A and B are shown apart, each in its own frame.
Chain A
C-alpha cells in the first residue's frame, strides 16, 4: 500500500459501511488502537541540520530504520531529538522518500556515498523512481567496471595449483602473463601477416618471359607459394587445436566468433587438398580461396581497437539497420522516378528500374561515376533532388554510430550486457515482490491475527504483545478492512497457489461441515494427504517471496498424520479443530469477546515437527506444500 494513501484509510474503512447491510455474517472486531498517540512532530538532527516531520510520515515504511523502532537507538534524551551522524545532503533525499513515496537520486551525489546512506537507513535502491533510475544504474555500472578494471590488474598474479590446461588457456587469453605466451602471440601474428601478404602477392603479375603474356606470381612460383601456404595453415591448425584443448568450455569456444574465423581461415586449404584437379569444381575451388582473406580477421585477437569496432557495429545494429532500410527505400523511390523520367529520351542508359538502382546508389553516396547520367530535364531535376537527399539520409545515423564507438572505446567495455540483463530481471522481480507484498502481507497477518485472537482468549499477554508489534496500526486497520470484505462475501482471500489447487479440487471434493470431532480430523488429514499427493506434480513458484506459505514437511500414513497434527507446534492455540469449511448460516449470537469463528489458513513454520521422519524429509521440504486448515473457536 503506497504511503500517501495511508491517509485515506479512514475513508476506505468508513466506506465499508456500504457492505454491512449486505453481509450475512458478523463482522470481525476492529483493531483497538493500543496507546494511541496523537500525531506529533519529531526532530531528526543529522550532523547539525535539523529536520522535522510527523511521526506518522516515518511510520509509513516500517521496514526501514526511521520507520521502525531501530531509530530509538539514536534518540538523544537531553535534546529530545534523534541524532544521526550522517551526510545531511543525502538525508534530504531519504526524508523526501518518506514524504512523497518516491526516492530520487541527485545527480551531483557520488554513487557509493549514496548507496552507503541508503544501506544505513535500510532503504532498497530498487525503489528509486523511474525518473532517476537510469542515471543511478548507469553510474553504478561505471563504478563497478572501474572497480573491476582495478581488480584485473591484480589478477595477473599467478594462482597456485593451476592445471596445465588452465595455464595454457590463461596464456592464450592474456599474452603478457608469461614469456612463452608472448612469443606465441608474436609468432602467430607474424604468420597471419605473412599469410595475408602471400595471398596478396600471389596475384601480382611478375615478370614474364618475352613471348608469353604476363602471369601472376602465384602461377610462376607455384611450389614456393604452396609451401608458404602449407606452413601458415599448419601453424594455424596447431594453434586452433591447442586453443580447443585449453578452452574451459569447449562447446562455447567452438561457437565463439574467433574460432569460427579460425576455422573459415584454414578450411579452404584442406578442401583444396581433398579435391583433386577436377575440372568441374576448380571454379568453385577458386572461389573458396577468397575465404583465405578472412585470415586477416585473426588480427582482431591482437588488436583491442578492432574488437571494439566490431563490438560497436554489433551494438549499433539498430542504427545500421535503420540506415540500410531508409537507403533502400530511397533507392527504390528514386530509381523508379528516374526510370520513368528518362524513359522518353533516346539511347538512355536507364533501361529498367533495377538498372537505375546503380545510378541512384552512386548518386546518393555522392560518388558520381558518371557512367549513367540523366539527359532529360525532368531527369536532371530529380537527379539533383536525389543527390541532395542522399547526403541527408547518410548523415543522419552516422553521428549515433560515432558517439557509440567513442563511448565504448572510452569505457573499454566488455560484454557486460548479460549481467545488466540479470540485474534488470532482479529489479523487476523485487518491485513485483514489493507490490504483491501488500496482499501477501494480509495473508501473512491473517495467520498472525489468528494467533493474536487465540492468545487473547487464552490470556497470554506477553506473547500477544510481541506478535502484535509486527504489524503497524495502519496495517492492522487495513487488514481489518479486508477481513470485513471477506465476511461480507463469505469468501476468503488466498494466494495464487492455493487458489489453483483448490480450483482443481473444486469438482472433486465436497467439504463436509461438521462439528468438531475425530471424523473431521480425519477429514483434515485426508484432504491434507490427497492434496499433498496432488501437489507433488505441480511446480512450486520461487520460494523467495518472504511472506509465502512455508512448506510443511509432513509424514504420511493416516494414523501417523493424526498423530502429527496433535504434535504440531500450535500449542498456544489449544483449540478444537473443526472442519475445513465453516459455512455459518445461522447468525449465532456470539459473545464478541470470547468466541469468534474465523477460518484461517495457518502454515506451520519450519522446522515444524518433532518426529524423526519429519527431519528426514526436511531436505525435501521445499518440494512439498501442505496446508492445515484449522479454525479457532
Chain B
C-alpha cells in the first residue's frame, strides 16, 4: 500500500508539468488586442462615432481579450438559433469575416465587415455574399460549395420544422439556385453571373435593403 502511495504521489508532478505547459500556452495566446483609434475606424468605415462606440462595447463585453476566435464566434451565433445547429454556417461566416485568415476576428475585421453589410452599396454587399459562398476563394461557386452552404443554412432550422425537412431539400434548393444563376450552364457561378442575376431579381434587391436601419 505504501508502494502504491509512492507511485500515486509521483503522478501529480507529471500532470503538473503538462498543466504548466498548457497555462504557458494560454498566456501566450491570451492576446490583448487593442483596436486602432476611433478616428481611424471612423475614416475606414461608414459608421459614426457613436455607432462605433456601441459596437465596441458589445464586442468587448463578449470577448474581453479583444479578438474572437472561432469557438466563441460559434457560441455567440448559436445563441440566436436555439432550435438548430448554427455551427457550420458560423464557420463559413467566420471565414468570411476573417479577411486576413489568421484564425481570429479582431474588432477591425468585425467592423469592416459590418460596414459593408449594413452601409455598403448593393454591389459591395453582393460581392461579400459571393465571398461567403465561395468557400475555397477561387472565384467560382461550384455546386458542392453551394450544397455545403445550403446544408449549413438548413441545419440552422433544426429538426422541428413544418413541413418536415427531407434529405433532398437542400439539394433541390441548390438546383433551383443554379438554374437561376448559372447563365452559361457551365456548372459554376462566376462573380459576374452572380451579380448580374441578383441585380435583375426584384426580391433579392428588395431584401438587400432590409437591414439598413439595423444600427
Which residues in A have some Cβ–Cβ distance to B below 8 Å? Answer: 1-2, 4-27, 29-30, 32-33, 38-39, 330, 333-334, 385-386, 388-390, 392-393, 435-436, 438-439, 477-478, 481-482, 484-486, 488-489, 491-496, 498-499, 502-503, 506, 581, 587, 589, 592, 601
Enumerate B167-215 residues with CB–CB distance to A below 8 Å: 169, 173, 176-177, 181, 194, 198, 202-204, 206-208, 210-211, 213-215
Q: Which residue of the partner chain B has the closest CB to A19?
A: B153
Given contacts A5-B62, A8-B58, A385-B1, contact A21 B160 (CB under 8 A): no
Indicate if the CB atoms of A17 and B162 lie closer than 8 Å: no
Whether B159 is near chain A, meaning CB under 8 Å from some CB there, is yes
* C-alpha gap A468/B15 in the complex (Å): 57
With a CB–CB cut-off of 8 A, which chain A residues contact B50?
Answer: 38
Give the 3 A-B CB pairs with smallest separation, nearest first: A7-B58, A389-B1, A499-B160
**What are 24 A-B pairs with beta-carbon distances under 8 A?**
A1-B80, A7-B61, A7-B62, A8-B62, A10-B55, A13-B214, A14-B113, A16-B210, A18-B149, A20-B204, A20-B207, A21-B129, A21-B177, A21-B181, A30-B211, A32-B213, A386-B1, A390-B1, A392-B5, A478-B80, A481-B80, A499-B164, A502-B164, A506-B164
B114 close to A (CB within 8 Å)? yes
User: How many A-B contacts at CB < 8 Å in the complex?
Assistant: 180
| A579 to B: closest C-beta gap in Å | 13
Task: Give residues in B with beta carbon < 8 Å to A.
Answer: 1-3, 5, 50, 54-55, 57-59, 61-62, 76-77, 79-83, 89, 92-93, 96, 110, 113-114, 117-118, 125-126, 128-129, 132-133, 149-150, 153-154, 156-165, 169, 173, 176-177, 181, 194, 198, 202-204, 206-208, 210-211, 213-215
Question: In whole Å, how far is A379's beta carbon from the nearest beta carbon of chain B?
Answer: 16
Least Cβ–Cβ distance between B18 and chain A, in angstroms: 26
- Closest Cβ of chain B to A218, distance in Å, is 46
Residues of B within 8 A of A477 (CB): 214
Is the beta-carbon distance between A14 and B79 smaller than 8 angstroms? no
Query: Taking the nearest CB of chain B, how far is it from the CB of A177, in angstroms?
Result: 54
Report Cα–Cα, A22/B50, bound state, in Å: 33
Chain A binding surface SS class = helix
Beyond A30-B213, A436-B82, whether A17 also contacts B117 by CB under 8 A is yes
Q: How far is the CA of A589 from the CA of B57 in the complex (A)?
A: 41
Please give, as numbers and ranges, the residues of chain B lying within 8 Å of A330 by CB-CB distance: 1
* Contact residue among B62, B157, B160 (Cβ-Cβ distance under 8 Å from A489): B157
Contact of B208 among A15, A17, A486, A581 (CB under 8 A): A17
Given known pairs A14-B214, A334-B1, the reply for A4 and B160 (CB within 8 Å) is no
Partner among B2, B62, B76, B169 whose Cβ is within 8 Å of the Cβ of A388: B2
| 8 Å CB contact of B211 from A14, A478, A482, A488 | A14
B57 and A7 within 8 A (CB): yes
Smallest Cβ distance from B143 to chain A, in angstroms?
13
- Is there contact, CB below 8 Å, between A39 and B54? yes
Residues of the B chain whose Cβ atoms lie less than 8 Å from the Cβ of A435: 82
Q: How far does the Cβ of A27 sit from chain B's closest Cβ, in whole Å? A: 4
Most-contacted residue by chain A among B82, B128, B153 (CB, 10 A) = B82
CA distance A14 to B157 in the complex (A): 18
Chain A residues, Cβ within 8 Å of B59? 7-8
A500's nearest neighbour on chain B, judged by CB, is B160
On whether A12 and B80 interact (CB within 8 A), knowing A17-B129, A30-B213, A498-B162, the answer reads yes
In the complex, the answer to whether B61 meets A499 with C-beta atoms within 8 Å is no
| Highest count of chain B CB atoms <10 Å: which of A16, A17, A481, A482 | A17
Residues in A with CB closer than 8 Å to B159 are 499
Closest Cβ of chain B: how far from A386's Cβ, in Å? 8
CB proximity of B5 to chain A, nearest CB, Å:
7
Contacts of A11 in B (CB 8 A): 110, 114
CA distance A526 to B61 in the complex (A): 53
Indicate if the CB atoms of B80 and A581 lie closer than 8 Å: no
- Residues of chain A within 8 A (CB-CB) of B81 are 482, 485
- Given that A7-B57, A485-B156, A489-B153 are known contacts, is A14 also in contact with B118, CB under 8 Å in the complex? yes
- Chain A residues near B156 (CB-CB < 8 A): 485
